[in-house]
């Protein structure tokens, strides 16, 4: 597959799964979601990425250190520092930021989120990320595409929750921090893809993995509406 076609297919995956176009995100942004549906976001996202955000980021760093010590590994190390501790945003670990939304914004007990059982699609998304890290680390850039897919949804969700549900901005830092951080993560994902995949003959294989991740990410948001 030539480079132009490969890049076009990557852009197509992103365009077809942009979460700012998802019905759930629009529902929240317009103030039409129920309180139970608002709780769907933390429940599903906690399973998909947030609970494991620090260990996943650490795993990315270790895999990058193995296969590409240098700038890629340093970028992954910075991502780990932010995910685990909020070093660069000067906030908190991203798991803690989701707890802020749950406890402060939705006024629900933390144990309820920690003990919630998410959808099978959310679990599948989480499993696919670990599978890539374990078996196909050269395809790690696909995870960066997922951050690009969600970035504008963060803005729509925080605006909707603040405007229509009276949730203070101090409890919406999960969205505001990710809106800024994931712009860079998405761009980094493309650089990693070009470094490890473009021109290797594995473009079709990579696209299949990226489509699978994007599919389960979208389906995880579908599950947020079932409340």
Phi, psi of 106 (to 5 degrees): -95, -10
Whether 184 has a pLDDT exceeding 70, the answer reads no
Q: Give percent of the chain with pLDDT exceeding 90.
A: 72
Q: What was the pLDDT predicted at 92? A: 83
* pLDDT of amino acid 188: 76
Report the range of poorest mean pLDDT among 36-40, 53-57, 200-204.
53-57
- Summarize pLDDT for 2-32 with one digit per residue, the tens: 999 999 999 999 999 999 999 999 999 999 9
Q: What is the CATH number of domain 3-224?
A: 1.20.910.10
Residue 173 is predicted with a pLDDT of: 94
- In this predicted model, what pLDDT tens digit does every residue of 62-78 receive, in sequence order? 888 888 777 777 888 88
Q: Output the DSSP codes for the chain.
A: --HHHHHHHHHHHHHHT-GGGSHHHHHHHTT-S-HHHHHHHHHHHIIIIITTHHHHHHHHHHHHHHH-TTHHHHHHHHHHHHHHH-TTTTS--HHHHHHIIIIIIS---HHHHHT----HHHHHHHHHHHHHHHH-GGGTHHHHHHHHHHHHHHHHHHHHHHHHH---GGG-HHHHHHHHHHHHHHHHHHHHHHHHTTTTT-HHHHHHHHHHHHHHHHHHHHHHT--
Identify the weakest region by mean pLDDT among 42-51, 85-94, 125-134.
85-94
Least confident of 154-163, 168-177, 188-197: 188-197
Over residues 150-172, the mean pLDDT reads 95
Mean pLDDT of the residues in the chain: 92
**How confident is residue 90, by pLDDT bands cut at 50, 70 and 90?**
confident
Please, are residues 42 and 100 in contact by the beta-carbon 8 Å criterion?
no
Domain regions of the chain by residue span = 3-224
Confidence class of residue 186 from pLDDT cuts 50, 70 and 90?
low
């Amino acid at each position: 597959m030539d480079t132009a076609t490969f890049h076009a297919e990557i852009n197509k995956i992103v365009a077809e799964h942009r979460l700012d176009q998802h019905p759930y995100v629009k529902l929240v942004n317009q103030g039409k979601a129920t309180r139970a549906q608002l709780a769907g976001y933390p429940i599903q996202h906690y399973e998909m990425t947030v609970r494991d955000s620090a260990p996943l980021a650490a795993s990315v760093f270790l895999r990058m250190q193995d296969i590409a010590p240098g700038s890629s590994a340093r970028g992954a190390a910075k991502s780990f520092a932010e995910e685990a501790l909020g070093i660069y945003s000067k906030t908190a670990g991203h798991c803690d930021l989701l707890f802020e939304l749950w406890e402060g914004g939705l006024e629900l007990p933390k144990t309820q989120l920690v003990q919630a059982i998410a959808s099978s699609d959310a679990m599948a998304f989480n499993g696919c990320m670990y599978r890539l890290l374990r078996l196909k680390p050269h395809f790690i850039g696909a995870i960066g595409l997922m951050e690009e897919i969600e970035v504008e949804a963060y803005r729509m969700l925080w605006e909707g929750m603040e405007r229509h549900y009276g949730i203070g901005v101090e409890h919406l830092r999960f969205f505001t921090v990710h809106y800024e951080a994931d712009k860079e993560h998405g761009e980094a994902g493309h650089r990693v893809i070009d470094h490890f995949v473009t021109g290797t003959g594995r473009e079709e294989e990579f696209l299949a993995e990226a489509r699978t991740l994007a599919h389960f990410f979208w389906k995880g948001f579908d599950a947020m509406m079932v409340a």
